[in-house]
Amino acid sequence: MLEYPCLTSDPVAADAIFVPYYTGLAALPFLYSPAQWNFSALHGRDLAKWLIRRDRPAIWSRFGGHDHFLAVAGSASDFDNDPAQTPLWGTAFLGLPEFYNVTVFTLESRAWSLQEHAVPPPTSFHPANLARLDAWLARARRSRRPTLMLFAGGAAPGSGRPNVVSSIHAECELRRDLCELVDCSGGVCIHDPARFMRPMLRARFCLQPPGETPTRRSTFDGILAGCIPVFFEEASAASQFGWHLPRRRYDEFSVLIPKEEVMFGGQRIADVLEAIPPARVRRMREAVLELAPGVMYRRHGSSAALRARKDAIDLAIEGALRRIQRRVQAIQQAKDALLLVGDNEEEWDE
Q: What is the pLDDT of residues 70-117, one digit of tens each?
A: 999 899 989 988 877 777 788 989 989 999 999 999 999 988 877 899
CA-based R_g, the chain, Å: 22
Q: What angle do CA 205, 208, 212 make, to 5 degrees?
A: 165
Mean pLDDT over 136-163 rounds to 89
Report the side by side order of strands in the sheet with 68-71: 17-18, 68-71, 103-106, 116-118
β-pair type (17-18, 203-208): unpaired
Residue 11 φ/ψ, nearest 5 degrees? -65, -25
Q: How many Å apart are CA 91 and CA 75, to the nearest integer?
A: 11
Q: So what's the pLDDT on residue 229?
A: 97
For the chain, the 3-state helix, strand and coil shares in percent, each to the nearest 5, are: 45, 10, 45
Ordered strands of the 179-183 beta sheet:
179-183, 147-153, 203-208, 228-231, 255-256
Q: Residue type at 240?
A: Q
pLDDT at 345: 53
**What is the maximal distance between C-alpha atoms in the chain?**
65
The DSSP element (H or E) to which 117 belongs, if any, is strand 116-118
> Looking at residues 276-292, what average pLDDT do you find?
97
- The Cα–Cα gap between 44 and 2 comes to 23
Q: Assess whether pLDDT exceeds 80 at residue 344.
A: no
CA distances, 288 to each of 138, 281, 282 (Å): 13, 10, 10
**pLDDT tier at 343, thresholds 50, 70, 90:** very low
Report which of 186, 188, 187, 148 is spatially closest to residue 168, judged by C-alpha positions. Answer: 148
**Residue whose C-alpha is closest to residue 223's, from 324, 121, 309, 314:** 121
42 or 345, which is more confident: 42
pLDDT at 35: 79
* CA 183 from centroid of its chain's CA atoms: 22
* d(C-alpha 149, C-alpha 292), whole Å: 19
Residue 334 zone, left/alpha/beta (φ > 0; ψ -120 to 50; rest): left
Give residue 337's pLDDT band: very low, low, confident or very high (50, 70, 90). low
* Distance between CA atoms of residues 197 and 224, nearest Å: 9
Q: What is the mean pLDDT of the chain?
A: 90
